[in-house]
Amino acid sequence: MTKKTKPTFRHLIEMGMLDKQAIGYLFQNAEHFLTSSLEKDALQKTLSGKVVTNLFFEPSTRSRHSFLIAAKRLGAIVINPDMSTLATAKGESLIDTIRTFEAMGTSLFVIRHSDNNTADFIAAELSSNASVINAGDGDNQHPTQGLLDLFTIHRHKPNFPELKVTIIGDILHSRVARSLIEGLHIMDAQTIRLVAPTALVPNDVDQLGVQVFHTMKDGLQDADVVVALRIQKERMQDASIPDPNKFYQQFGLTSESLAYAKPDAIVMHPGPINRSVEIDSSVADGPQSVILEQVRNGVAMRMAIMDCLLT
């Protein structure tokens, strides 16, 4: 296969920064790291001597640790602090913390924060030529999750324009959905459907280039790719959190509702999963599920992104 041209970008803040050519390069690079590093338990030291600083101001299992593993597989020096032990707890500002890590030689900051646009803000305030990756900001963007989702789809069903993709659940608060929808458009996917209760559909849905459904039967018909999303309680007032039993009855991805999709549809979920709320265990652990493949692909995709930014 011909090696694709490496794109030039310093930061990765949102999916919309990328084009089809750049995503194609990242697919190729992620495939390379899957086979040359993950499958062989081998290091690929392209970031040898570089310092990568993970700053996760929100809980995370997948993103935080896959960035950590990816950076170590690339030979970087990785700082991955428990945020409660940083001097921010003594009143140091976010930017002073960033400047401190810049002074220690950080080449790349990986930022997760509950406030929208924090990664963008940090990128604009840097005093060095370090890079910034947005590892999820509020309900805004989660571009590396979007890229690992696209990569997982590409490995199973590479013909994006022909795909029918259905995303189910709390779209309103989902940065994952926003990044994935943008990425699917970049890859020329023609049919993107959302299935959600009216209260969990974003106000700007008309600008997202999607079809909206309120029943699983209508939204899942002949789908090739099915994405279930968690209800993001941490971004809701208590009164607006849906009753989990009622939500499961109407929007839970079960064997019965999945039967509306194509028999070879793949089932995805960015995690963390709330079983028996948005997805049944028989589906999450079933033969169509690629949920743990997404996690594994996430390490390779994050290696691909960091390698692209820093080499």
* Binding pattern for the stretch 248-277 against ligand CP, x by CB under 6 A and - elsewhere: ----------------------xxx-----
The token pair at 9 is: 């970008």
Cα atoms found within 13 Å of the Cα of residue 203, Cβ hemisphere only: 0
CB under 6 A: which stretch of 62-70, 82-90, 92-100, 188-196 binds ligand CP? 62-70
CA distances from 278 to 81, 171, 224, 246 (A): 32, 12, 19, 11
Closest CA to 300 of 62, 31, 64: 31
E strand map for 15-140: 51-56, 77-79, 106-113, 131-137
How many residues form the binding site for ligand CP (CB under 6 A)?
10
Mind giving me the DSSP string for 146-158? HHHHHHHHHHH--
Instruction: For the CB of residue 137, give the shortest distance to ligand CP in the complex, in Å.
Output: 11
Segment near ligand CP (CB under 6 A), from 14-22, 60-68, 73-81, 157-165?
60-68
Buried b (16+ CB within 10 A) or exposed e, 106-141: bbbbbbbbeeebbbbbbbeebeeebbbbbbbbbbbb
- Tokens standing for 138? 């509020």
Kindly identify the residues of this chain, within the stretch 169-228, that bind ligand CP according to CB under 6 A. Answer: none
Letters for 140-169 (x = contact with ligand CP by CB under 6 A, - = none) are -----x------------------------
Contact between 60 and ligand CP (CB under 6 A)?
A: yes
Q: Among residues 102 and 141, whose Cβ is nearest to ligand CP?
A: 141
Strand partners of residue 211: 193
Structure-block tokens of residue 284? 């999450």
CB of 4 to ligand CP, least distance (A): 26
Q: Which residues are paired to 225 by β-bridges?
A: 165, 266
- In this structure, what DSSP letter does residue 119 have? H
- What amino acid is encoded at 175 in this protein? R
The window from 29-37, 54-62, 69-77, 198-206 that contacts ligand CP (CB under 6 A) reads 54-62
Q: How far is the CB of 142 from ligand CP (least distance, A)?
A: 6
Separation of first and last alpha carbons in the chain: 22
For ligand CP, which residue of 63, 97, 179, 289 counts as binding (CB under 6 A)?
63
CB of 207 to ligand CP, least distance (A): 24
What is the smallest separation between the CB atom of 54 and ligand CP, expressed in angstroms?
A: 11
Shortest Å distance, C-beta 129 to ligand CP: 27
Say which residues have a Cβ less than 8 Å from residue 287's Cβ, sequence separation at least 6: none
Find the shortest distance in angstroms from Cβ 263 to ligand CP: 27
CB atoms within 10 A of CB 5: 10
CB closer to ligand CP out of 63 and 166: 63
Among 14, 136, 232, 299, the residue binding ligand CP under the rule CB under 6 A is 136
Of 58-66, 92-100, 161-169, 188-196, the segment contacting ligand CP by CB under 6 A is 58-66
Q: Which is nearer to ligand CP, 146 or 242 (CB)?
A: 146
- Closer residue to ligand CP (CB): 60 or 191: 60
CB 105 within 8 A of CB 126: no
Residues near ligand CP, by CB under 6 A: 60-64, 136, 145, 270-272
